[in-house]
Structure 1
Amino acid sequence: MPTRVHEFAWPDRVVVGTIGLPGARTFYLQVRAGTQMVSIALEKQQSALLAEKIDEMLDQLITVEGNPFSVPTSTPLELVDNDQLEAVQEQFRTGAMSLGW
């Protein structure tokens, strides 16, 4: 199967959410930039590991000398996103994932 790459330079929204009842939920990574939206199904463990690795990357980014980006030590209230997933059209289910900065 060919590798799929979805690249968003500066997305409007990135969220992991679920559809379904506990024990029968499907987890999704959803990214939106303007009218472009991608919904990717993933396993519960993948969503937890993704959150952990993003947290580690942000912790490292805080320490980078000359970093032009402002990285807060905790999530500002105005950036907390507990809203529902937008209309989900599953593009594919994840296999191996990589994360880079």
Structure 2
Amino acid sequence: MQPFTEKTIQIIKEIPPGKVMSYGQIAVQAGSPRGARQVARILHSLSEKHELPWHRVVNAEGKIMLRDEEARHAQTVFLQTEGVEVDQSGKVDLKRFRHDPN
């Protein structure tokens, strides 16, 4: 496994309940500021295997980006269950709910 992949998995695992991080934020923390798409691929391919809290990852605007309606609804429900407010457009207030590991 590549070092970026390992670091990304570790960062995602450490996002606490009730908080979110963006793909780009995770990429920066993992050492690749332009690696947001790679973070998305890691989430897509390794979430189940590594039991990642995939639902705690949103885009830079705080929006849920899943295309599949069922998956988007599941992410919303999972976040709301943890106390994260998701508005009608599928957006999270990053000022309130963003996790900053520093």
Name the TM-score, length of structure 1 as normaliser. 0.30
Task: Specify which structure has the bigger relative contact order, considering alpha-carbon pairs within 8 angstroms and separated by 6 or more residues.
Answer: 2
Q: Which has the higher helix share?
A: 2
Q: Which has the higher strand share?
A: 1
Q: Which has the larger radius of gyration?
A: 1
